[in-house]
Structure 1
Amino acid sequence: MANNPIAAPPPAKKRKTSLSSIPDDVIVNVLARISISHYRSLCLVSKNFYSLLSSPDIYFARSLIGTTDVHLYVCLRLPTPSSTSHHHRWFNLGYRQGQLSLVPVRTLSSSSYSPDRLNSTSVAVHSEIYQIGGGSNEEKRTRAVRVLDCRSRTWRPAPDMKVARKHARSYFLDDKIYVTGGCTRREENWGEVFDIKTQKWKPLPKPPSDHDHKGVVYGGRLYAFTSMNNNNYAYEPKEERWVQEAGFVGLGPITGPLCVIGNEIFSEHDRKYTWYNPRNGNGKQQVIDGLNDVYKKRANNYRTIQLVNHGGKLVIIWNETRRKRKRLWCAVISLEERSTPLGTRMRGKVERCDLLLDSVHKSYMLSSCLSVLV
């Protein structure tokens, strides 16, 4: 009788694992480790992905594992449909089809704009943006402070200032917010300081000068300077007073926007973007090399409105106005300091130089541009 071996069992079918079978907390844990720059594309994967990436849970998970990205937040003053009033709205600077673009920030409570925050000042504090004071030309100044949590995309109120202000300036240093100007009686109420930890405001004395001061945070100190003289002052928080800083030079000629990257201060001089180290002895501004592509795209009637330190890169934003229409441009530049026989030079590489807004009404204005850790 012929042998009749036992037939081998058929191969087991591979079970397909769908995303719907994976717990949401596992998906959130994975997505939290991915750069936020990819979230816009990931939202298209499924409705569940869109829901998870739109939830505050994803940002809570990112904070727990210490994942952060540097993002640029841009606040624009936009006209209402009636064109008789304006409101503010926040955007992220992102990429669309390989070009820089403005992506609206969709907040989860209230809205991403606030009509009563015209002429306010904004400052980045870790992963939050403090919007301070404000008021339109017809309205009174306000003491109000609102905070945008860029992780949860929610607004919340913060303690009011002691003095109502609009068109003020603000700076962040050592977990404290310094606010200057923007009030009526400058001598008495020139500035105030908000302690992030205690959530309390206290007065900030005025530097010993009669001129209007601009400020800059450099080397762990807050400096005040004017374009009228070479008297620069540094604030001593422990002593709560300003001291003259003779070794900090070169700030006087700067009248436009500036930013600090590393040990250098970047600004604009004679239609060229410049850099210098205020502690090198002479404070001489030097032109950044390699920016011809930026200069070629600028129109003759341009105006630089923001210079921003964006994760060590220089972001330049300028606008052009013609016949009641406006265009808004942005350039992202990586920097490299080089030693040459003639001294140290700064070389810039233009990574992107794109048009953000084309032919919009001239009432469009950029109010703030801040680099935030999210």
Structure 2
Amino acid sequence: MMMRCDLKRNKLCKRMSTTAKEAPSWSFSSLPDDIILNVIARVPRRYHPILSCVSKKLQSLVRSSELQITRSLRGKENRFYVGFREKYPSSYHWFTFTESHHHLASIRFPSFLLKSYSTTPVMVGTDIYIVGGSRNMWILDTRSGKLRQGPKSPVFRHGAAVGLVNDKIYIFGGTCPQSCYHDIKAQAFDLNTQTWQLAPNPSMQVNSKNNSVVTPALGRKIYVMAGTDVIVYDTRDGTCDEIIRAEDFNCKTICVVDNVLYMYYHDVGLMWYESKAKEWRVVHGLKFKGYSSSIKMAEYNGKLAFLWHSVNKGEVWCSMIALYGSSNVAIRGLVEWSDRLLSDVPFSYDMKDFMVCTDYYK
């Protein structure tokens, strides 16, 4: 009886082993698209670039309109924030708009922050981190409108660059009025532990004019507009590279989409940087050229949100540009939509900031 049971057990084990070998390997990408979209819709936007590296299918779904529809059905709607500084009287004004409502709506901004607010705000989820100008850090919850004060930074640096890489906010470069801390040129705020720590000092002098942008969590590098050129700061070791602007064209804004650097040049239009050949090339298919107004750009779901303020006409417009092609050959742009967001903008308004919040709950 015992031998018969052992034989049955051995046959069962062999059958299970054979079935396991014959069973197809399972992967997340093999699930139906609607299930994958429902899972991705619950993942914070800042982790989407990492998902895009897993497979071409996930990359396509992350950038698809179906994901935006799924997010909206779950009560999520992406929001854009535009900041203006008014010269006379000295004040700051914030506006917001959404994908479904292309019209700027005014929102409150704490007036007492104006004196300490001198660097680019950083959007993390639904919170806006305001750092620089002093050791103070303020955090604005965009859902509730409540403002709270974060831990003070160890060292105050004037005219520093600010960028977000993964779960850390980096402040580096500029000048330090405190002589005893002159050798500390970079620091980072850990969003997980809510603590400050020293970061690798940049290998070259970095003076920012509040125009800094970061690659979406992948390259661990921050691109800083320093004068007329771009300095690339590697957060791992502080190594800095310099990207020379194209000829003598006037450029005031930069943006990084899928690890490709874009600049808007007044005399040429939108251009991209071919890193291997180290040359600037025109983005084909667009007519954005000759704008003398203020320009801002932001990465949005693998696309480029192009915002411009026509001072003479008192209007603010936004265009959503999809980018196609290869970063080794050529890139084309296609305008998916373009709308006037606001009219009758006072002449004294100067557009300062443009941010995208893609984890907003209604």
TM-score range, shorter chain: 0.5 to 0.7
Identity %: 22
Q: Report what 1:45 is aligned to.
A: none
1:149: Cα distance to partner? 1.4
CA distance in 1, matches of 2:338, 2:230: 36
Q: Report what 1:44 is aligned to.
A: none
* 2:77 alignment partner, one of 57, 64, 69: 69
Q: Hey, which of these two has a bigger chunk of strand by percent?
A: 1
- Residue by residue, what CA displacement relative to the aligned partner does 1:331-372 show, whole Å, maximum 9, x if unpaired? 222314147xx943312225114262435132x122321111
Structure 1 or 2, whichever has the larger Rg, is 1
Alpha-carbon contact 1:288-1:348 (below 8 Å) kept: no
CA distance in 2, matches of 1:189, 1:357: 45
* 1:302 alignment partner, one of 277, 283, 293: 293
CA distance in 2, matches of 1:124, 1:230: 22
Alpha-carbon contact 1:131-1:145 (below 8 Å) kept: yes
The 1:201/1:268 distance shift into structure 2, 3 A limit, reads: same
CA distance in 2, matches of 1:332, 1:307: 10
CA distance in 2, matches of 1:264, 1:352: 23
Alpha-carbon contact 2:157-2:175 (below 8 Å) kept: yes
CA distance in 2, matches of 1:172, 1:153: 22
* 1:179 alignment partner, one of 163, 171, 180: 171
1:78: Cα distance to partner? 3.5
Alpha-carbon contact 1:317-1:328 (below 8 Å) kept: no
CA distance in 2, matches of 1:120, 1:243: 22
State the TM-score, normalizing by the size of structure 1. 0.62
Please say if 1:371 is aligned against 2:356: yes
1:193: Cα distance to partner? 0.6
CA distance in 2, matches of 1:84, 1:231: 34
Aligned-CA RMSD value: 3.6
Alpha-carbon contact 1:70-1:310 (below 8 Å) kept: no
Alpha-carbon contact 2:273-2:281 (below 8 Å) kept: no
Alpha-carbon contact 2:122-2:163 (below 8 Å) kept: yes
Q: Report what 1:60 is aligned to.
A: none
The 1:283/1:350 distance shift into structure 2, 3 A limit, reads: farther
CA distance in 1, matches of 2:352, 2:137: 16
Please say if 1:156 is aligned against 2:148: yes
Alpha-carbon contact 1:313-1:332 (below 8 Å) kept: no
* 1:312 alignment partner, one of 299, 302, 308: 302
The 1:159/1:207 distance shift into structure 2, 3 A limit, reads: same
The 1:103/1:199 distance shift into structure 2, 3 A limit, reads: same
Secondary structure in 1 matching 2:204: coil
Q: Report what 2:86 is aligned to.
A: 78
1:199: Cα distance to partner? 1.0
1:222: Cα distance to partner? 1.7
Secondary structure in 2 matching 1:361: coil
Q: Hey, which of these two has a bigger chunk of helix by percent?
A: 2
Please identify runs of 4+ aligned residues in structure 1 that moved more than 6 A.
227-231
Of 162-171 and 219-228, the range deviating more from structure 2: 219-228
Unpaired runs of 5+ residues, structure 2, are 1-40, 42-70
Please say if 1:261 is aligned against 2:257: yes
Please say if 1:201 is aligned against 2:196: yes
Secondary structure in 1 matching 2:253: coil
1:167: Cα distance to partner? 4.3
Secondary structure in 2 matching 1:115: helix
Q: Report what 2:97 is aligned to.
A: 93
CA distance in 2, matches of 1:67, 1:261: 26
Name the count of aligned residue pairs. Answer: 275
Q: Report what 1:116 is aligned to.
A: 113
CA distance in 1, matches of 2:177, 2:306: 34
1:233: Cα distance to partner? 4.7
Alpha-carbon contact 1:72-1:310 (below 8 Å) kept: no
State the TM-score, normalizing by the size of structure 2. 0.64
1:232: Cα distance to partner? 5.0
Please say if 1:131 is aligned against 2:130: yes
CA distance in 2, matches of 1:91, 1:337: 30
Secondary structure in 1 matching 2:113: helix
Q: Report what 2:338 is aligned to.
A: 352
Please say if 1:103 is aligned against 2:111: no
Of 351-360 and 206-215, the range deviating more from structure 2: 206-215
The 1:357/1:162 distance shift into structure 2, 3 A limit, reads: farther
Unpaired runs of 5+ residues, structure 1, are 1-32, 34-62, 106-110, 135-141
Secondary structure in 1 matching 2:346: strand
1:318: Cα distance to partner? 2.7
1:231: Cα distance to partner? 7.8
CA distance in 1, matches of 2:159, 2:229: 23
In the TM superposition, 1:212-223 aligns within 5 A as 212=207, 216-218=213-215, 219-223=218-222
Q: Report what 1:334 is aligned to.
A: 321
